[in-house]
Amino acid sequence: MNSFFERRYIIAGIFITIVLVLLARLFYIQIVDDRYLLYAEKNVIRKTILYPARGPILDRNGKVLVQNEPVYDIMVVPKQVLPFDTAEFCSLIGIDKEGFDKRFTKAKKHSPYLASIFEKQLSVEFYRTLQERLSDFPGFFGQLRSVRTYPDSSAAQFLGFIGEANDKDIKRSNGYYRLGDYVGISGVEKAYESTLRGQRGVQNQMVDSRNVAKGRYANGAFDTVAVAGERLISSLDSRIQRLGEKLMQNKVGSIVAIEPSTGEILCFVSSPTYDPNLLVGRQRGNNVAKLYKDPYKPSFIRPIGAYYPPGSSFKPLSALIALEKGIITPQTTFFCNGGYQAGGHFVRCTHHHGNTNLTLAIAGSCNAYFDNVFNKLINSNGAKQTSATYTDWKARVNQFGFGVKLDIDMPNEGRGYVPPALRYDNTYGVNHWRANTIISLAIGQGELLATPLQLANIECTIANHGYYYKPHLIKAIGDKNVIKDEFTKRNYVGIDAQYFEPVIDGMQSVVEYGTGHGSKIPGIVMCGKTGTAQNPHGKNHSLFVAFAPRDNPKIAIAVVVENSGDGGTWAAPIASFIVEKYLRDTITRRSSGIYPEYYMNANLLPSLGNKPKPKLAKPDSLKQQQGQPATDTTKKIELKSAGRKKTKKANNPYIAYQSKRRENE
């Protein structure tokens, strides 16, 4: 009897143990390990991600710069794939067997149970021919999404581009992005990614064993709707953007134009550029590789990333600081005998200007005048205080936006460079350097570096008589006209408004009869400053900065043309065409004979062969604007006119005035 009961307990224990094991296994399968749930669901339910339309981007006048077009991705769930004719499948979608194996291995590595992209961005027309046969290949299906298209094929660096999210993007998004999702990589697309991307939706469909859809799961109770991204209204004016890109074709450099009263960027040209449509479609990878290998670096965003010595375009800023500090007055004169003696170094000037005041010094770009101003300013507190005085000067330059980021709404903005006193302490020794040691800074050379955006922003500050608005690319999101409070606040630079008029007088004279005379616009008072930036790797860079009209300025601009010589020959004419096009929507005949087609057709791309020997910077020259023989750096531009060429120096009021004064002396 006891033996019977013992056997009964043993048998019961075995059954209880089996039940517990089964329950534990069921718990593990259903609760702990989701592989079986996923596999079961994938056999019955297909979750399709509904990708929202990315927000379009328009110019300031409502013209579409970028919009969307539908495409299809071929998706694959590796565990659902059954044996099939891979050669036929490869032929259908246009890949080879090696490409198939590579794609399929990548999909299995991602997840055997989850869908991943097998082939990207098939056109709607191509997918229609494929769709009829796709059900013959279980585990493969099409997914609708959209990619960008650019009607004007312009403003590539401004707009930026999108690409597939990488591991870092996915990690930073805290799981929002998945493998195969698209994100903004550069430009506005990256800066406003969260606004443009919208909100994804999900659609659940019942499928049979052949992966053929059989209707909505639970009548769509678990579906969510995709929400389209917001529309962006950019500040860009596509008229002058297209003109700027034509004028800069076959050249290296950039154009930045800003509306002084708002800080809105009107023109953002980075040259060489590229067609943004090349970065869309099945050839995107190949085209991206070609762009990155291009020695002229078209993917580089020069307006905010390229550094240049500002050259003589820096002189108005230097004058404003000296006026505010009381170092000079508008009537202060310095004698120019063709240059400035900086200790053992002689800084050459464009002419023997004689006794020159501020306005004439800006008009004639007199190096001697501004070297004297800088020397007097840095020595204003005595030789022992050189470092402290220079540090104060640097802080004032920083207030204008030099050597600091302007916080434009675009990634990867450069800050330029204004050297700290410590750099000169390390180079020359503490208290062993003076104003003459760093005299090149007075005329925007030496270690001083700025981006084209910073150069244009300086012109906004001068146009506004002492303040600027932070430059920005987007003026409206959806129906909201104001996007960030910081873009509506004035940033004062610490210079009293009264000091700007004599400087502006000089800048007007630059265009009226000075170094930018050839770019004078009939009926429009443009105030500007030419510059020639030293380039240790070849010919000097041509710079021009300006704003117009003088009263109630509507546009401020900076143009940089690399390897092209002085500022009056290339940069100034290009700037004048942009300014007039913006203000009048046309370009009138110029008395100097310059015309846009000449600059559009000119090829100034630097040679990619042996690097030329470094050349010293040439000062701004009046000769180029008076029909005198061009230097070799400008390839002898011929400024045509309807009548005779105006080559006599007497035609230039500035030169005539200086000649008469020297005769009287």
Considering the domain architecture, whether residues 228 and 318 belong to the same structural domain is answered as: no
Q: Is residue 54 part of a domain?
A: yes
Q: pLDDT-based confidence at 665, cuts 50/70/90?
A: very low
Q: pLDDT-based confidence at 636, cuts 50/70/90?
A: very low
Which of residues 190, 205, 234 is at a domain's end?
234
The pLDDT score that the predictor gives to residue 305 is: 95
Per-residue pLDDT reduced to its tens digit, 471-493? 999 999 988 776 788 999 999 99
> 262 phi and psi, to 5 degrees?
-135, -25
Higher pLDDT, 260 or 223: 260
Q: What is the DSSP letter of 310?
A: -
Strand-pairing partners, residue 339, are 348
Could you give the CA distance from residue 113 to residue 446 in angstroms, rounded to a whole number?
Answer: 62
Domain housing 155: 45-234
Buried b (16+ CB within 10 A) or exposed e, 610-622: eeeeeeebbbbbb
Considering the domain architecture, whether residues 228 and 242 belong to the same structural domain is answered as: no
Give the CATH number for residue 270.
3.40.710.10
Q: Is residue 614 part of a domain?
A: yes
DSSP notation for 342-393: ETTEEEE-SS--EEE-HHHHHHHT-HHHHHHHHHHHHTTT-GGGHHHHHHHH
Least confident of 353-367, 607-621, 624-638: 624-638
Considering the domain architecture, whether residues 601 and 634 belong to the same structural domain is answered as: yes
Per-residue pLDDT reduced to its tens digit, 504-525? 999 999 999 988 999 999 999 9
Could you give the CA distance from residue 163 to residue 285 in angstroms, rounded to a whole number?
Answer: 10
Q: Is residue 24 part of a domain?
A: no
pTM: 0.81
Per-residue pLDDT reduced to its tens digit, 372-393? 999 999 999 998 899 999 999 9
Considering the domain architecture, whether residues 201 and 137 belong to the same structural domain is answered as: yes
Considering the domain architecture, whether residues 78 and 180 belong to the same structural domain is answered as: yes
Could you give the CA distance from residue 437 to residue 439 in angstroms, rounded to a whole number?
Answer: 6
The residue count of the chain comes to 665
Residue partners of 289: CB distance under 8 A and separation at least 6: none
Torsion angle of alpha carbons 33, 38, 44, 49, nearest 10°? Answer: 150
* Predicted confidence (pLDDT) at residue 371 exceeds the cutoff of 90: yes
Of 145, 155, 214, the residue nearest 186 (C-alpha): 155
Chain Cα centroid distance, residue 600: 22
The pLDDT score that the predictor gives to residue 625 is: 32
| Tokens, residue 226 | 């995709």
Q: pLDDT-based confidence at 265, cuts 50/70/90?
A: very high
Considering the domain architecture, whether residues 187 and 50 belong to the same structural domain is answered as: yes
Q: Is residue 16 part of a domain?
A: no
Torsion angle of alpha carbons 505, 506, 511, 515, nearest 10°? Answer: 170
**Sign of the dihedral through C-alpha 99, 100, 101, 107:** positive
Residue partners of 19: CB distance under 8 A and separation at least 6: none
Considering the domain architecture, whether residues 563 and 584 belong to the same structural domain is answered as: yes
Q: Is residue 7 part of a domain?
A: no
Which range among 172-181, 286-295, 572-581 has the greatest average pLDDT? 572-581
| Tokens, residue 327 | 């170092």
The pLDDT score that the predictor gives to residue 288 is: 87
* Predicted confidence (pLDDT) at residue 23 exceeds the cutoff of 60: yes
> 313 phi and psi, to 5 degrees?
-65, -15
Considering the domain architecture, whether residues 264 and 229 belong to the same structural domain is answered as: no
Chain Cα centroid distance, residue 534: 23
Average pLDDT over all residues of the chain: 85
SS3 content of the chain, % helix, strand, coil (to 5): 40, 20, 40
Could you give the CA distance from residue 512 to residue 505 in angstroms, rounded to a whole number?
Answer: 10
Could you give the CA distance from residue 564 to residue 390 in angstroms, rounded to a whole number?
Answer: 32
The pLDDT score that the predictor gives to residue 205 is: 78
Q: pLDDT-based confidence at 3, cuts 50/70/90?
A: low
Q: pLDDT-based confidence at 611, cuts 50/70/90?
A: very low
Considering the domain architecture, whether residues 175 and 286 belong to the same structural domain is answered as: no
The fraction of the chain above a pLDDT of 70, given in percent, is 86
Least confident of 75-84, 147-156, 454-463: 75-84
The pLDDT score that the predictor gives to residue 255 is: 98
The pLDDT score that the predictor gives to residue 656 is: 42
Which of residues 234, 264, 290 is at a domain's end?
234
Could you give the CA distance from residue 506 to residue 414 in angstroms, rounded to a whole number?
Answer: 30
Report how many domains make up the chain. Answer: 2
The pLDDT score that the predictor gives to residue 657 is: 35
| Tokens, residue 353 | 């200007």
Give the CATH number for residue 81.
3.90.1310.10
* Predicted confidence (pLDDT) at residue 647 exceeds the cutoff of 80: no
Of 486, 312, 299, the residue nearest 406 (C-alpha): 486
| Tokens, residue 660 | 């008469």
Buried b (16+ CB within 10 A) or exposed e, 517-543: bbbbbeebebbbbbbbbbbeebbbbbb
* Predicted confidence (pLDDT) at residue 654 exceeds the cutoff of 80: no
Cα distances (Å, whole numbers) of residue 6 to 1, 9, 17, 403:
9, 5, 16, 91
Of 127, 167, 163, the residue nearest 143 (C-alpha): 127
Start-to-end C-alpha separation, the chain:
143
For residue 404, with 0-12 CB atoms within 10 Å meaning exposed, 13-18 middle and 19 or more buried, which class applies?
middle
Which of residues 170, 201, 234 is at a domain's end?
234
Considering the domain architecture, whether residues 224 and 256 belong to the same structural domain is answered as: no
Considering the domain architecture, whether residues 208 and 244 belong to the same structural domain is answered as: no
Question: Under DSSP, is residue 241 helix (H, G, I), strand (E, B) or coil?
Answer: helix
Q: Is residue 261 part of a domain?
A: yes
Considering the domain architecture, whether residues 276 and 229 belong to the same structural domain is answered as: no
The fraction of the chain above a pLDDT of 90, given in percent, is 56
Q: pLDDT-based confidence at 181, cuts 50/70/90?
A: confident
Which range among 350-354, 383-387, 624-628, 658-662 has the greatest average pLDDT? 383-387
Q: Is residue 276 part of a domain?
A: yes
Q: Is residue 10 part of a domain?
A: no
